[in-house]
Amino acid sequence: MSARGTFLAILFALTSSAAVLADEPVTIGAIVADPEPHHMHMVALQGTVQQVRLLDPYRQPSGTVCYGAYLFTLQDDTGSLDVAVLGVCGLAVDSPPEVSDGDKVLVT
């Protein structure tokens, strides 16, 4: 992670092809430098997956347990940020993350 801080993004969809509802991919550097214009907007980010980290199951306020959550660092030519994948709630699944270190991905 860069010294200027990190940005935690919730992963809404992960896709390697097909059209996305967001505009052209935004650079990570643009978001880190000026996050306000992107706040509460869907953006597309493109980069390389690094440092995939599995998370322990967690409990929602409703009591439902969620499984399969993980984090990874998304890196492009302008910077990096952490992406959180929330997993599946209410169903005990034991599946590996959908991404691996070195994968090229488009996150929206």
CA quadruple 89, 90, 95, 96: dihedral, nearest 10: 20
Residue at token pair 């992406």: 83
Owning domain of residue 12: 8-107
Domain assignment present for 62: yes
Domain assignment present for 2: no
Residue type, 23: D
Q: How distant, in Å, are the alpha carbons of 42, 87, 96 from that of 39?
A: 8, 23, 30
Q: What are phi and psi of 38, to 5 degrees?
A: -100, -10
Q: How do residues 65-90 score in pLDDT, each as one tens digit? A: 999 999 999 999 999 999 999 999 99
Tallying the residues shown for the chain, one arrives at 108
Q: How do residues 5-14 score in pLDDT, each as one tens digit? A: 333 333 333 3
- The CATH number of residue 54's host domain is 2.40.50
Give the residue-averaged pLDDT of 92-108: 92
Angle at 66 between CA 75 and CA 39, to 5 degrees: 45
Q: Give this prediction's pTM.
A: 0.75
Domain assignment present for 3: no
Query: How many domains, in total, are found in the chain?
Result: 1
Domain assignment present for 101: yes
CA distance from start to end of the chain: 20
